[in-house]
Amino acid sequence: MSVLPQHGKENNQTNEALNTLLIVFMKSNTYNNMKTISILFIISLFINGAVTESVSVNIGFSITFHTNTVIQSDDVIEWSYGYSSELIAKLDRGSISLFDGSYGRFFNRVKLNYETGDLTIIDVRDRRVGDYNLQITGEKNTRQTFSVSGRGGYTGHVTSLTVMEGDSVRLDAGVPDAENYDVIRWRFENSPLAEIDRKTEIVSTHDERFRDRLELDRWSADLTITNITTDLSGLYEVKVDSNRGTHTIHQTYTVTVSDEVKSVSVMEGESLTLHIDIPIQIYDRTDWGFGPDELKPDSIQSLYRYGERFRGRLQKQTDGIRSLTITNITTEDSGVYQVRIIMGLCPQSIKKRFIVTVTARDGSSGVSLGGSCVGVLLVLVSSQIL
């Protein structure tokens, strides 16, 4: 009697030998020993061809699992999800079937390549993190599991960023363990931009418009664009291929570079309200800054460190309207005001600048907006709605 199933003619001899070994274990006095049971389990996985590979990816990124198999015309390929092996995609002799999954978690989020059988999961979220099981039935039977874990908060499939001209932009490659990936490629508007090839230890960049502006982190594979200009607005894409060619992690970014600066004039002693016509969403954060320098990630400390200048004169937004009000304004408050809006738990952000001129009651204007106009003062106004 055969204990293990037979998978393919080429495995018959191996199957018979392992079946014999299993029967010996089962008849031995040590069969109930946990170590022996573990050995049986490992042998069973081996003979069934089941291999589990762990994959870590940023939430919001997409991932493609590769079969790395030459698909035969009579092969049946099934992709399932979770411990219950819920069927999400099937390729049966050239015919593709896609399934939404329980609660519609895979609705419009699954693609299946009819030539290779590769499965793409678009926009990995918490509810789509877990085990993805591949089973190929045909001349050669194959089973494999990809165990996917996610990192970070939710982001959409295409991450949109709006930045000011002259700012620096850092685009995340999306892989917490980038050193385990051989080839990382960045593209701009579907043209090669930068890449890392760990096999050859080559880090290369392309496109003359980005000369001396690209910084490609060798370890994280994140791409930084410095001193960005409006002509560099567009679609950026990253693809990260695993060392064994079993999967690819990919993401796209839509970057908009704005040179918009709004000028505002106000009389000394009046109140000034700076409005932003963007609805507030759950978990959004709004950082306000005063001064020409770029807003820093640690600006949350600035309200307490430099608050004396505006103490008692700042009012944050109310009734869902993004705004900052400065009361009893003075000529010394003239200068550049910046705002950065972090859209939810993700890298999406929007930046705007205001040039404020305060005119004194005697008709004189405020301080110059030149390089020495103001010291850097960063003010955080938190706008979270829980």
At residue 9, the 3 state secondary structure works out as: helix
131 vs 123: CA distance, rounded Å: 16
Delimiting residues of CATH 2.60.40.10 domain(s) in the chain: 52-156, 162-258, 261-381
Is pTM, for the whole model, over 0.95? no
What digits encode the pLDDT tens for the residues 52-68? 899 988 888 999 999 99
What digits encode the pLDDT tens for the residues 137-170? 988 888 999 999 988 755 544 577 888 888 888 8
CATH of 52-156, one of 2.60.40.10, 3.40.640.10, 3.40.50.620, 3.20.20.120: 2.60.40.10
Fold of 162-258: Immunoglobulin-like (2.60.40)
- Give counts: helices (H), strands (E), the chain: 3, 26
Q: What angle do CA 71, 73, 77 make, to 5 degrees?
A: 55
Query: What pLDDT, on the 0 to 100 scale, is given for residue 345?
Result: 53
> Given a cut of 70, is residue 8 above it in pLDDT?
no
Rounded average pLDDT over 191-199: 85
Interhelix angle 34-48/12-27, rounded to 10 degrees, is: 160
Instruction: From 333, 282, 281, select the one nearest 311 (Cα to Cα).
Output: 333
Rounded average pLDDT over 4-9: 38
Fold of 261-381: Immunoglobulin-like (2.60.40)
Question: Buried b / exposed e across 103-142, counting CB within 10 Å, b at 16+?
Answer: eebbeebbebbeebbbbbbbbbbeebbbebbbbbebebbb
183 vs 67: CA distance, rounded Å: 19
Looking up tokens 């793409």 gives 120
